[in-house]
Structure 1
Amino acid sequence: MSEEKKNLSTTYDPSQVEEKWYDYWMENNHFHAEANEEKEAFTIMMPPPNVTGQLHIGHALTMTFQDILTRWKRMQGYEALWLPGTDHASIATEVKVVNKMREEEGVSKEEVGREGFLERAWKWKEEYGGRITKQLRKLGVSCDWDRERFTMDEGCNEAVKEAFVQLYEKGLIYQGDYIVNWCPECMTTLSDVEVEHEDKPGKLYHIRYNIKDSDDYIVVATTRPETLLGDSGVAVNPDDERYEDIIAKKVIVPVVNREIEIVADDYVDSEFGTGLVKVTPAHDPNDFEIGERHDLEIIKVIGDDAIMTKEAGKYEGLDRYECRQQLIDDLKSAGLLEKIEEHDHSVGQCYRCDTTIEPLVSKQWFVAMEELAKPAIEAVRNKDINFVPERFSKVYFNWMENIRDWCISRQLWWGHQIPVWYCQDCDEVIVRTEDPTECPKCSSTNLKQDEDVLDTWFSSGLWPFSTLGWPEENEDLKYFYPTDVLVTGRDIIFFWVARMIFMALECKGEIPFKDIYIHGLVRDAEGRKMSKSLGNGIDPIEVIDQFGTDTLRFTLITGNTPGNDIRYREERVEASRNFANKLWNASRFVLMNLEDFDLEDVDYSTLEYTLADQWIISRLNKKINQVTKLLEEYQFGQVSQELYDFVWREFCDWYIELVKPRLYQNDNQVARQTAQYVTWFVLDNILRLLHPFMPFITEEIWQYLSAEEEESLMVSYWPEVDNLSVNHKAEAKMEVVMELIRSIRNIRNEMKVNPGKKITAILTSESDEKLTIVEEGKDYIADLANIEDLTITKEVEDRPEQASTAITNEVEIILPLAGMVDINKEIIRLEEEIEKMESEIKRAVGKLSNKGFVDNAPDHLVEEEKRKKDEYTAKKEQLEERLNSLKSIN
């Protein structure tokens, strides 16, 4: 190994490594993938983050999983494509641009017009959008940046128009008046999954409705009294005997004095409120359906801006909540408000601005979902597509089997403008992928395009194939599609996952991906969801700047199980940093001992493998097999634990210590070269196994360790199992030896023997097999347990009178105390320790006997005192046992 490659710096500094290697990988085009018939393709599509977004801890988790899979498959020899991109995020982006225009120019989007607004929006996107993709590079993502896509780029736009026209021509897209979720702040419709429901304290208002031509009245309970201004009926369950005699009668809407009919409908829950439901078809989705069944009038009394309309009569112009208060006052004055009850209920909020949504009847574009849902359900049910973990398929089925038609139009300007034109002369509706120049019916050129844009999820639903060139059937689409795995959080199964499945099956006739790996959320140390309001969010970039990318990545996957949330704790980050430092220091030691080692000079026929060599090579091969299998099962957290244990405990703590004497042995070149080769071989494979998880530190070390002609670890090979090197006997033998070393070290520790002091030891056993193992491993035992005089025998003729003993694996350990410890001094030390424990026990018992403390102190402090008392008691018993043992032999 050359001089310039052998020496790592004394400490690992991520800031000196990460940017350097990312730039190197980019410059050498290592992330790029091309259709290659000589290789099998592996494809992942990046869930496109919002162009307005910035990297948060959830993004970091998702991207780390994808990068692990991509780097692993690339090393396995696949043509691995991880295609990146961003989503135009209609609502979020429009809000940002509108605010910027208002703050900097003092104008609204209406004042500058659609063209002027879009010009500003694209300029904003180029200037500020895509910040997250720059941040992703710091995370080490190995996606093919040459193929980066945007949901509004030319190719994706063509795909969107093609999909719309196909669905329309099949009768699966239609326009109609329907109840929609409306955000009065964003001034657009929202799909059901874009509405976040939150339980909030509210009130239940019991209001009298007089029965026409009668002195009788009914009482209706509602949480939204302002909507009664748009009532067109009252509904009752037909099986409710209390009201069977009033069905079909007329009642008078309070204040409005409009006559409406009482109808019978199975939807009504007789147990809720009074069992009577006011029906306002224009402002409630369930009321809308009741109204459709009974042909009730639709009266819109709340406008798009949440201001009462002229249909609200004297309340016109009031905000919906102002109207509520004034109406309640009027009902009280008229003696029509029976009572008000406190009532917690679910309130729909806009997922973007938290404004309470308003259900409104509106003319919108819809996708008819019944026909599209069926094949999408079957694809998962028959395992063409697999959820990991499988339990999330139930969530998917529940939503898909109860799906409503999808409202796809949005009252925005930023987005894919709906490819529909209306002839202003003959009212012909024209739906085409290309802009029409004249009406096909009357030849008029007086055409106007629909002003609405499509729901953002319409374009992202096409993402797996639109990004590869669909609707054109090119080589990339044939080679890389369908993709292999989708990695995403459970919170967008409805938003995105389901839509990709049914859109792919409809437009492409194929599934979009084979597996869907669902991961949980990253929560704070207390298990709370991270949010701005709590101020408990974690900025991944700050973590990277402090600890390094590899540390963050390893932290996020450690302890992670499919589908389950993880807690972000500072101590876990520190543990990952310590692991990186452990790997660095061990590698530095290895490299320092490979100064005269050259792989080309190794004569494998002359190598003499010791028990330790056979053991570590066997353990390595088992680990390769285990890690590969666990990655195939998406068990990232278990992989990280297996690698951590192997690297830290088996390689660093055991093998490096076991091999040191031979590395230092200049008088036996065969032994030294064997030790060098095995150490090099194991470290090389460790770096390969760790690379997908910790790409930067492994690349840096590997460049010092590798042969000169090899270019980069990330494009080298993934380790393969050599079954001939799996040696169960060597592992069993080594376990006996290591257990003996542990036991001797434990005794030394208990006896407070100076770690540098050499001792005498006798190992005895009636088992010839165990004695043979001990004999084979005697040098390891003597070296690692710091023994200068080691006796291995079947029978002990002169057993020392003063000795500490233990038995492990049928081998008795006898450590003569003479020369190891001063028994009298140790007795005095133990007596002093016992006194300390007794004092601590007395103190704890005193606190726990104090009623004031037990009754008034926080529960966790009381429990802490109980724990301390038990701990001190147990330690005292151990010290007393040790003291009695010493006194008996003194």
Structure 2
Amino acid sequence: MTQTSPAQRRELPSTWNPADVEAELYQRWVDAGYFEADANSDRPPFSIVIPPPNVTGSLHIGHAFEHTLMDLLTRRRRMQGYEALWLPGMDHASIAVQALVERQLQEEGIDHRELGREGFLERVWQWKEQHGGAILSQMRRLGDGVDWSRERFTMDAGLSRAVNTMFKRLYEDGLIYRAEQLVNWSPNMRTAISDIEVEHREVEGELVTMRYGDGDSALEVATTRVETMLGDTAVAVHPEDDRYKHLVGTEIELPLTGRTIPVIADEHVDPEFGSGAVKVTPAHDPNDFEIGRRHDLPMPTIMDERGRIADTGTRFDGMDRFEAREAVREALREQGRIVAEKRPYVHSVGHSSRSKEPIEPRLSMQWFIRVGPLAKAAGDAVRDGRVEVHPPELAKRYFDWIDNLHDWAISRQMWWGHRIPIWYGPNGEVVCVGPDEEPPTGEGWHQDEDVLDTWFSSGLWPFSTMGWPDDTADLRRFYPTSVLVTGYDILFFWVARMMMLGLYGMSDRSPEEAVPFRRIALHGIVRDKHGKKMSKSSGNTVDPLQWIDTYGTDAVRFTLARGANPGADAPMSDEWVAGARSFVTKLFNATRFALGKEAFAPERLPDRAELTDADRWILDRCDALVTEVDELLEDFQFAKTVEALYHFTWDEFCDWYVELSKVQLDEGGRRAEHTRAVLGRVLDVLLRLLHPITPFVTEVLWTALTGRESVVVAEWPVPTGEPADAAAAGRIDAFRRLVTEIRRFRADQGVKPNQRVAADLEGLETVGLVEHLPAIRSLARLEAPGEGFNASSSMRVGLADGEVTVGIDLSGAVDVAAERKRLTKDLEAARKELDGTEKKLNNPSFTEKAPAEVVDKIRSRRETALAEIERINTRLESLPES
């Protein structure tokens, strides 16, 4: 065996204080280039691209959760010998940044339109340089092992070139077109927004039923948005509804407008709902838009970009949509056309996630991607196994979305973003200009005013960040990426877009090599400990940086990974992070103890025949742990991985082997030397297994143990291949059970934990534990029986191979009077609990009316009280007379 010399070791502080070391350690890793990937390496590649956070963002708990998982996977692969690339970057966040800079300008008394497009963009870039990217420094605090040399931004020149290239290719292939269609419109931002930027909330509104027409031709329709009736172009009924067949094809008066509109028949109408007649406003409702297209109805837009009524020729023009809602309702009431009103009427309303206002479905001229062939290719890639979804059951969600995609509105009415590369000529010419082409010049030529949806550029992220459309070393080496770690909540939006654009953009490769990622590992969202979604309004949000300040980064990462079950939401709480800090402290103290006893990480272990049962048992358990962790991580079972590491570290290594090692070290000689080697070997493996989860403390401890450069670039543990010693494991299991039962018996007898008492053990030969007698006495705080020993109490412990009888002399070890007083008090409490539960269970009005789970809980409490009474009585009977 070779051993690290004391001179090579780094001294450990007396206590673990994360704030003293984390920043320095991280910078050391970056300076050493550990996180930089070499595209020319001959090692197998592994790559992840970070879901780009918004340039306006800061590290929230969702980021910390997701980044911990990505870092865990990347650090492990790096240790396994892969050329690992975790590529960082940010999204330009078109809507968020534009809104932010507009507000800043307003505070200065400047309307951004006064600056003009170029002046406004200059201010945006200034803001970005001064304030953007705060999250990048916060990622360092989390320990993100990203390759900073490859940091990307969606508005960088290279990525902008990729965006223009993709637009031109799609345009020339007929997959991009311009049309007037219904979109989600934000009146505050004055732009179309994507589906993912719409949050649906239950709100209290009103349902107003009103009468169109008079006499026999009158029809009643209901709506929650009365103001939209100004844009109605038909009333629709079901073709088979006998009540209205005589009206189909006729005209009916549209109140307040001076217009008449047709009554049409359409199968979309539910004759059983309400009156069976519905108003049709094609320019302001998705379902009505489809009806309008089927029946070739006029589609007048009755609201301008600010959400004000416009172009209706009524007195309501110029009113805000909500002001108009009140005014139109009152005008209809004055005409006696309000049939019924239901208040409050709770219904779902889409709101902009950015501006928090209700969005307005609005007919607008926009650019679209024809997603049909792209979506089919994206669905096929998962169906045929080129891309795996984890957990597999979430693939159905993917198919539900990708198989039913509508054409994607990609234009935004903003200035900050990738401007659409279309030029219009004086004679109606339309020219798409690629990144390496000169735009047309001359009088009358101008570029489209709109910019592209941010999701368009982020949809190119897996390959644009690696240099596409050029044929780069990074692209050849690291595309497709190995895994995408992301939340199931954006499976439909970002993931689907990356799949569609990746397969299209990389179509010159084979189908297997064109996909943007091999596997999709989906996680849930972080919730509080009660399972409630975190939100500012609920007051249950968590700042991960505060947790890091309080508990240390390793404890935060450990907690986050411990909550990460595939595809499931992750509950979190301060108590759990505090528990993780205790775990980190336990690991630190165990390593400090081992180093204090001159433990070392040997190149080769002693011959197994020379090792004790405890040595062979812990080495075999360590081997099994390596196998278990590998299997779990390959299946993205992060929570189960952390649980396995936690229980091995705390329950087996610290609670048992470290305590047993103290006995073996006290023996001195070769046994002590072997114990130091086993302690060091297990710690070496354990610290390497834990490193991807808790990088900072493991770096400090592993380098102190081994004297080597860094655990970041250490080899990932592999099983030794040694057959497990089942006999030794059986004896250690028997040993642990025996000691546990003796400890429990001592506690029941009121013996203080550290008080040593004389005891005689019979039957150790039968169960093969004779050699373990010194350890049993040490861990169970027992003294050898002296001359004239007389057991005052005894217990029997049944083990797999027999029974051990333990006789204990408790005379003088227990204050009988105090113990009897304590037990009597506990007995009174247990009897009171029994009495209370029986009264409830004997009351028919309770058992018959209370929920079944409540009744079951009371029954469980009754059984617990009965068991407690029996235990206390038995204990009282065993006490000697005082």
Report the TM range for the smaller structure's normalisation: over 0.9
Measured after TM superposition, the shift of residue 604 of structure 1 is 4.4
Structure 1 residues 591 and 725: alpha-carbon distance in aligned structure 2, compared to 1, 3 A threshold: farther
Paired with 1:505 and 1:226, the residues of 2 have a C-alpha distance of 44
Partner of 2:874: 881
Measured after TM superposition, the shift of residue 825 of structure 1 is 5.9
Partner of 1:644: 646
Percent identical among aligned pairs is 42
Paired with 2:725 and 2:833, the residues of 1 have a C-alpha distance of 55
Secondary structure at 1:378 match in 2? helix
Structure 1 residues 138 and 375: alpha-carbon distance in aligned structure 2, compared to 1, 3 A threshold: same
Structure 1 residues 437 and 27: alpha-carbon distance in aligned structure 2, compared to 1, 3 A threshold: closer
Structure 1 residues 802 and 786: alpha-carbon distance in aligned structure 2, compared to 1, 3 A threshold: closer
Note the aligned Cα RMSD (angstroms): 2.8
What is the number of residues matched between the two proteins? 861
1:615-658 alpha-carbon deviations (Å, 9 max, x no partner): 11111000011111111111110111111111111111111111
Q: Is the 8 A contact 1:282 1:288 kept in 2?
A: yes
Structure 1 residues 370 and 351: alpha-carbon distance in aligned structure 2, compared to 1, 3 A threshold: same
1:552-607 alpha-carbon deviations (Å, 9 max, x no partner): 00011214311111221222111101001100111110111118x6858x894699
**Does structure 1 residue 788 correspond to structure 2 residue 783?**
yes
Structure 1 residues 614 and 454: alpha-carbon distance in aligned structure 2, compared to 1, 3 A threshold: same
Secondary structure at 1:268 match in 2? coil
Partner of 2:98: 94
**Does structure 1 residue 327 correspond to structure 2 residue 328?**
yes
Which one of the candidate residues 810, 821, 833 is aligned to 1:820? 810
Partner of 1:591: 595
Measured after TM superposition, the shift of residue 96 of structure 1 is 0.5
Q: Which amino acid aligns with 1:677?
A: A
Measured after TM superposition, the shift of residue 456 of structure 1 is 0.2
**Does structure 1 residue 189 correspond to structure 2 residue 192?**
yes
Paired with 1:391 and 1:317, the residues of 2 have a C-alpha distance of 51
**Does structure 1 residue 201 correspond to structure 2 residue 201?**
no
Residues 646-795 of structure 1: matches in 2 within 5 Å?
646-666=648-668, 668=669, 670-707=670-707, 710-754=708-752, 755-764=754-763, 770-771=766-767, 773-789=768-784
Partner of 1:230: 231
**Does structure 1 residue 70 correspond to structure 2 residue 74?**
yes
Structure 1 residues 335 and 32: alpha-carbon distance in aligned structure 2, compared to 1, 3 A threshold: same
1:668-688 alpha-carbon deviations (Å, 9 max, x no partner): 2x2222111111111111110
Partner of 1:174: 177
**Does structure 1 residue 804 correspond to structure 2 residue 808?**
no
Measured after TM superposition, the shift of residue 493 of structure 1 is 1.1
Paired with 2:813 and 2:190, the residues of 1 have a C-alpha distance of 85
Structure 1 residues 822 and 358: alpha-carbon distance in aligned structure 2, compared to 1, 3 A threshold: same
Q: Which amino acid aligns with 1:756?
A: Q
Q: Is the 8 A contact 2:209 2:222 kept in 1?
A: yes
Measured after TM superposition, the shift of residue 525 of structure 1 is 2.4
Q: Which amino acid aligns with 2:272?
A: E
Structure 1 residues 153 and 822: alpha-carbon distance in aligned structure 2, compared to 1, 3 A threshold: same
Partner of 1:620: 622
**Does structure 1 residue 552 correspond to structure 2 residue 552?**
no
Secondary structure at 1:261 match in 2? strand
Paired with 2:541 and 2:326, the residues of 1 have a C-alpha distance of 38
Paired with 2:328 and 2:630, the residues of 1 have a C-alpha distance of 68
Measured after TM superposition, the shift of residue 762 of structure 1 is 2.1
Secondary structure at 2:271 match in 1? coil
Which one of the candidate residues 502, 505, 525 is aligned to 1:504? 502
Measured after TM superposition, the shift of residue 37 of structure 1 is 4.4
1:660-717 alpha-carbon deviations (Å, 9 max, x no partner): 1332344x2x22221111111111111101000000000011121113xx31110010
Q: Which amino acid aligns with 2:761?
A: I
Secondary structure at 1:314 match in 2? coil
Secondary structure at 2:127 match in 1? helix
Paired with 1:384 and 1:612, the residues of 2 have a C-alpha distance of 47
1:220-275 alpha-carbon deviations (Å, 9 max, x no partner): 11221211111111111112222111110110101112111111111112122211
Q: Is the 8 A contact 2:838 2:862 kept in 1?
A: no
Measured after TM superposition, the shift of residue 800 of structure 1 is 6.8
Partner of 2:340: 339
Q: Is the 8 A contact 1:238 1:264 kept in 2?
A: yes
Q: Is the 8 A contact 2:378 2:503 kept in 1?
A: yes
1:267-307 alpha-carbon deviations (Å, 9 max, x no partner): 11212221111111111122112111111112121111111
Which one of the candidate residues 28, 41, 48 is aligned to 1:44? 48
Structure 1 unaligned runs (5+)? Answer: 792-797
Paired with 1:718 and 1:409, the residues of 2 have a C-alpha distance of 48
Q: Is the 8 A contact 1:617 1:725 kept in 2?
A: no
Measured after TM superposition, the shift of residue 445 of structure 1 is 5.3
Structure 1 residues 561 and 135: alpha-carbon distance in aligned structure 2, compared to 1, 3 A threshold: same
Structure 1 residues 756 and 885: alpha-carbon distance in aligned structure 2, compared to 1, 3 A threshold: closer
Paired with 2:684 and 2:491, the residues of 1 have a C-alpha distance of 40
Measured after TM superposition, the shift of residue 808 of structure 1 is 2.6
Query: So what's the TM-score if we normalise by structure 2?
Result: 0.93
Secondary structure at 2:392 match in 1? coil
Structure 1 residues 650-659 or 68-77, which shifts more?
650-659
Partner of 2:511: none
Paired with 1:438 and 1:576, the residues of 2 have a C-alpha distance of 59
Secondary structure at 2:784 match in 1? strand
Q: Is the 8 A contact 1:232 1:298 kept in 2?
A: yes
Paired with 2:611 and 2:219, the residues of 1 have a C-alpha distance of 94
Measured after TM superposition, the shift of residue 758 of structure 1 is 3.7
Measured after TM superposition, the shift of residue 527 of structure 1 is 2.0
1:465-521 alpha-carbon deviations (Å, 9 max, x no partner): 000000001111011000011111111112201100011111112111111111111
Paired with 1:366 and 1:266, the residues of 2 have a C-alpha distance of 28
Partner of 1:450: 448
Structure 1 residues 397-406 or 191-200, which shifts more?
191-200
Secondary structure at 1:81 match in 2? strand
Q: Is the 8 A contact 1:823 1:886 kept in 2?
A: no
Residues 864-879 of structure 1: matches in 2 within 5 Å?
871-879=864-872
Paired with 1:641 and 1:166, the residues of 2 have a C-alpha distance of 49
Structure 1 residues 55 and 863: alpha-carbon distance in aligned structure 2, compared to 1, 3 A threshold: farther
Paired with 2:383 and 2:545, the residues of 1 have a C-alpha distance of 40
Secondary structure at 1:384 match in 2? coil
Q: Is the 8 A contact 1:308 1:316 kept in 2?
A: yes
Paired with 1:506 and 1:413, the residues of 2 have a C-alpha distance of 27
Which one of the candidate residues 143, 160, 163 is aligned to 2:146? 143
Which one of the candidate residues 117, 120, 127 is aligned to 1:114? 117
Secondary structure at 1:8 match in 2? coil
**Does structure 1 residue 85 correspond to structure 2 residue 83?**
no
**Does structure 1 residue 542 correspond to structure 2 residue 540?**
no
Which one of the candidate residues 579, 583, 605 is aligned to 2:583? 579
Query: So what's the TM-score if we normalise by structure 1?
Result: 0.92
Paired with 2:373 and 2:601, the residues of 1 have a C-alpha distance of 66
Partner of 1:795: none
Structure 2 unaligned runs (5+)? Answer: 508-513
Secondary structure at 1:313 match in 2? coil
Q: Is the 8 A contact 2:91 2:458 kept in 1?
A: yes
Structure 1 residues 324-333 or 582-591, which shifts more?
324-333
Structure 1 residues 671 and 306: alpha-carbon distance in aligned structure 2, compared to 1, 3 A threshold: same
Q: Which amino acid aligns with 1:759?
A: A
Partner of 2:284: 283
Measured after TM superposition, the shift of residue 444 of structure 1 is 4.3
Measured after TM superposition, the shift of residue 168 of structure 1 is 0.6
